[in-house]
Amino acid sequence: MSATSLYNQALGYRRSNPQQARSLFEQARAVAEEEENYCFMLECDYWIWECTLWYLNDDQGAMDLAMRSLIEARKPQYARCTAPLADIHYTIASTYINYDPVGYETEALEILAYVESEMHPEYELWCLLSANRAKLALYLEAWDEAIHQSQIGLVRSQKSDFLLSNLHLKLCDLYALRQDWEQVAQHMEQAAENLQKVRVTVGRMSDVLLWRAVLAHLNGDSVKAQTWYRVHFTHLPHQDDYRDSDYIDLRCRYHTLLADWDQVWKLREIELTMATRGGSPLKITNTYRKRIAFLRQRGLPYESEYQAAIAAADKLRKPEIYLARLQNDLQCNEA
């Protein structure tokens, strides 16, 4: 089978069977290598990484791939592959941000700047650069910068309703941290409007409906909140699809409003399982921070969670930053 046929088959399996998709992309790359089609090899490398990080939630695997790509992309045979090279550099920066944003902050920002100024990225990638800077700022807990970069992304992404919907939903998260519910409502409705123009909305529309449930409850309409919450499940591939920590955080926000503590803890258990399976010390540390906050709020013992958070943070490049955050969490809660 040709590399192109394998590649096209793989694209169709990304959501339904990401393991199969990754295998097909790997086969396509092997055929392209036999044909010395170097640019197509890089294109396959990008999608192998995409499946690994976003569809299989394998953070450690994505980091390993990024490190290999960093070495591979420097070989002279790829010099003319402008667009695939830009994509590969983007994957490296994205992996740094998702795996250890504090530890790799400098490297990630340098790569993003290099792609933008020297590699002439295509439109969608150019838009994603701002989204990645916003995500990095969020992980650095630089809220104003995260909002600023997201707003830059909105300006850039006017030709893509899909990218706009993602940015509006991210701004919902950011403004919720400030409890600016008016802004949350505005960006939620903008995301809904954008998603109505997008062919594939599985997962994203569920976030919009969850935000509607949260806002309805905050406005005192518990009946409407329950309705939106039930309906959001119909926009998931299957009811036990927990997707990522952002989705779990939103579910937890809703159940916290209901004082449904058992459900909140169940979701945090699922989040920890996902983070552990993905192998990201960052996600494990952050999950334990949330668990500690929950246990302290409920007046329950948290020492074992605290020690586990320290052990996870020690695996990051700059553990002292995360240890300081843990300590600050405790002091804020005491205050």
Sequence-ordered list of residues with C-beta below 8 angstroms from that of 250, at least 6 positions apart, any chain:
173, 207, 210, 211, 214
pLDDT at residue number 204 = 86
Residue 236 and residue 269 share a domain: no
**pLDDT bracket for residue 240 (50, 70, 90):** low
In a domain, 38, yes or no: no
In a domain, 287, yes or no: yes
In a domain, 49, yes or no: no
In a domain, 254, yes or no: no
pLDDT at residue 202 above 70? no
Residue 224 and residue 297 share a domain: no
Cβ contact 323:286 at 8 Å: no
CA distance 151 to 130: 9
What CATH number has the domain bearing residue 221? 1.25.40
- Which pLDDT tens digit goes with each residue over 10-42? 999 998 899 999 999 999 999 999 999 999 999
In a domain, 135, yes or no: no
Indicate the average pLDDT of the chain.
94
pLDDT at residue number 203 = 72
Residue 318 and residue 282 share a domain: yes
In a domain, 295, yes or no: yes
Residue 237 and residue 269 share a domain: no
- Picking from 209, 241, 273, the residue at the C-terminal end of a domain is 241
Residue 236 and residue 203 share a domain: yes
pLDDT at residue number 172 = 98
- Picking from 208, 241, 274, the residue at the C-terminal end of a domain is 241
Task: State the pTM of this model.
Answer: 0.92
Number of compact structural domains in the chain: 2
- Which pLDDT tens digit goes with each residue over 159-193? 999 999 999 999 999 999 999 999 999 999 999 99
Residue 280 and residue 211 share a domain: no
Range of the domain at 206: 160-241
Residue 221 and residue 188 share a domain: yes
The answer to which of 51-65, 174-188, 320-334 has the lowest mean pLDDT is: 320-334
In a domain, 271, yes or no: yes
Q: How many Cα neighbours within 13 Å face the side chain of 309?
A: 24
Q: Please tell me which residue, 61 or 70, carries the higher pLDDT value.
A: 61
In a domain, 280, yes or no: yes
